[in-house]
Structure 1
């Protein structure tokens, strides 16, 4: 009878496991509003679940994402965490149709009562009134909480993999770029068009992931990359044909999952130390402040006013018109 080598056992398996007396992990957990959670063998699968809204980010998203990541981190069965999205794309960014069109009516309100805090839409609406005084720290206190939630993917003990299809734009990239590995469909669209007006990527990770020139090439124009280009530029590890995305991601995930968990943790910590030494935390802070500033400039107020008048989609269509002419869910770069 063939015996499984000790280094191939799951973390909670075998007589020498420190987790051997732990109660069997339960898949029962909170009902998330923005994502689903399941464990399949050694893999925790987190899936954004607002397909009708393009999995747009709400105040619940960073809280639930961080909770789900911690849940997977604490589960001795799990060796790797995979993040994906249901519907037509991975994530279309913040639910700006709510914030840009309906901020005055309480848009972007989350599940919990945050009345009177920086997460209260009324507080943010008051701070965004162009007739009043803007307090940048009120804005920072709000936005930094979103980014901290997304950064749980980078700081998790266990490896995180983003599987991207369709589109990953604007705030969606603030999430995906925090993952340790990105696998993206060749025809997907990834980038940060809001740098054209009303946004700076608060994660501050583009230069760290792509280098100075390539990051500037994207963010000085708001241009996007196809998945194939993202892999060529080194932003993604692989860009399979859309029909092969699930299969190719699963190959990578299962190869990671076969590793001993302590090895995965040590490798991730060692490599993260180099990334963090580059100043990721500082980049995040500066970028989050500038993101707030970008929404409180003359141009930022004009964009919000146009979104309130004509609808967010129309405002974005005008933002992405000539000389860009790349509005829509697909990239024109081929």
Structure 2
């Protein structure tokens, strides 16, 4: 943060700066960022940085991800030093979707493989409970499914509902469930070669967040989701999904420039602008879109085709099932990570 932004005129000050601050002589918020399993949290100047930290697994989504993301966003929202919140990912990409390998390959009675000490045990988030609810030989309870997925959505939507502006920095890949996170951010900036899309609409998935039409409009959202095709970061910029798509080598610098400009604004101005503009999204029905999309996401996993995909994953592995799904479209590439959901 430049000196004139930090120590300039009164209207440029952060909530904590100046003797007339409401927070004058109060201690800084307690740093709780080291306790997360799936991400890290730190504050530098006026920027809160949330970074997905499962690089070896493509930053794939686990049961902990939505809860930890929402908690970190709340930390930033409550911190009077923070003006803007950045979400990014370590390693080769932003997020490769849900970590479905364990589920896809162990959903047929291998309950002994589940960690009994998992904090989700005995709840609707219990992997064993959800595996039982996905057994093709048993009745499916759609509300057990919805109770799980709606909570994932609720955590991801913290980016939209936060008082302060949120920015998602995408690189490498942002696919499937990863887009459920990114599309909730107020601003998306991505490398021009980022792979962005939701291939699971081909079978066994509907984007539960329901944000595609709100971000791209009806026709372009359908163009992607009726085919499962992905677009590049450059095309995302051209279509209005991303505000910028610089070359990968320039992504960090351009992101910091954007964050710096946002962080110069007073927090109260940022909050008022975001609330005013979010009112348009609420009028469009983002909450209703998420509910409907989450219900259909559950249904898509319990069709004849969905069960066949699940059976293939159980027998041959999730990677093989994804290959079977994508090879007819000519865009399957053997990925390092067995994530995609």
Partner of residue 82, structure 1: 86
Deviation at 1:222, TM superposition (A): 0.1
Matched, 1:27 2:23: no
Partner of residue 319, structure 2: 313
* C-alpha distance after superposition, 1:222-244 (max 9, x if no partner): 00000000000001000000000
Tell whether the 8 Å contact from 1:320 to 1:326 is kept in structure 2 after alignment: yes
Tell whether the 8 Å contact from 1:167 to 1:329 is kept in structure 2 after alignment: no
* C-alpha distance after superposition, 1:206-227 (max 9, x if no partner): 0000000000000000000000
d(CA) in 2 for partners of 1:267 and 1:199?
A: 34
Which one of 60, 68, 71 corresponds to residue 64 of structure 2?
60
Question: In structure 2, do the counterparts of structure 1 residues 228 and 329 end up closer, same or farther at CA, with 3 Å as the change threshold?
Answer: farther
Divergent runs of 4+, >4 A: 106-112
Tell whether the 8 Å contact from 1:60 to 1:110 is kept in structure 2 after alignment: no
* C-alpha distance after superposition, 1:159-179 (max 9, x if no partner): 000000000000000000000
Where does the alignment leave 5 or more consecutive residues of structure 2 unmatched? 337-341
Deviation at 1:124, TM superposition (A): 1.1
Which one of 258, 272, 276 corresponds to residue 264 of structure 2?
258
Deviation at 1:247, TM superposition (A): 0.3
Where does the alignment leave 5 or more consecutive residues of structure 1 unmatched? none
d(CA) in 2 for partners of 1:43 and 1:190?
A: 25
Tell whether the 8 Å contact from 1:58 to 1:108 is kept in structure 2 after alignment: no
Tell whether the 8 Å contact from 2:33 to 2:42 is kept in structure 1 after alignment: no
Partner of residue 105, structure 1: 110
Deviation at 1:325, TM superposition (A): 2.9
TM-score, length of structure 1 as denominator length:
0.95
d(CA) in 2 for partners of 1:55 and 1:113?
A: 20
Tell whether the 8 Å contact from 1:60 to 1:111 is kept in structure 2 after alignment: no
Partner of residue 53, structure 2: 49
Matched, 1:159 2:157: no
Matched, 1:301 2:307: yes
Deviates more, 1:311-320 or 1:84-93: 311-320
Question: In structure 2, do the counterparts of structure 1 residues 242 and 321 end up closer, same or farther at CA, with 3 Å as the change threshold?
Answer: same
d(CA) in 2 for partners of 1:217 and 1:133?
A: 34
Matched, 1:94 2:95: no
Question: In structure 2, do the counterparts of structure 1 residues 108 and 288 end up closer, same or farther at CA, with 3 Å as the change threshold?
Answer: farther
d(CA) in 1 for partners of 2:15 and 2:70?
A: 22
Matched, 1:270 2:286: no
Question: In structure 2, do the counterparts of structure 1 residues 14 and 165 end up closer, same or farther at CA, with 3 Å as the change threshold?
Answer: same
TM-score, length of structure 2 as denominator length:
0.93
d(CA) in 1 for partners of 2:45 and 2:10?
A: 17
Partner of residue 209, structure 1: 215
Partner of residue 339, structure 2: none
d(CA) in 2 for partners of 1:270 and 1:283?
A: 20
For 1:146-185, list aligned pairs within 5 A: 146-185=152-191
Question: In structure 2, do the counterparts of structure 1 residues 78 and 110 end up closer, same or farther at CA, with 3 Å as the change threshold?
Answer: farther
Which one of 15, 21, 37 corresponds to residue 19 of structure 2?
15
What is the aligned length? 329
Matched, 1:192 2:192: no
Question: In structure 2, do the counterparts of structure 1 residues 117 and 25 end up closer, same or farther at CA, with 3 Å as the change threshold?
Answer: closer
Question: In structure 2, do the counterparts of structure 1 residues 34 and 299 end up closer, same or farther at CA, with 3 Å as the change threshold?
Answer: same
Deviation at 1:311, TM superposition (A): 1.1
Tell whether the 8 Å contact from 1:109 to 1:120 is kept in structure 2 after alignment: no
3-state SS in 2 of match to 1:66: helix
3-state SS in 2 of match to 1:119: coil
Question: In structure 2, do the counterparts of structure 1 residues 99 and 193 end up closer, same or farther at CA, with 3 Å as the change threshold?
Answer: same
Matched, 1:132 2:138: yes
Matched, 1:142 2:152: no
Tell whether the 8 Å contact from 1:109 to 1:121 is kept in structure 2 after alignment: no
d(CA) in 2 for partners of 1:145 and 1:224?
A: 26
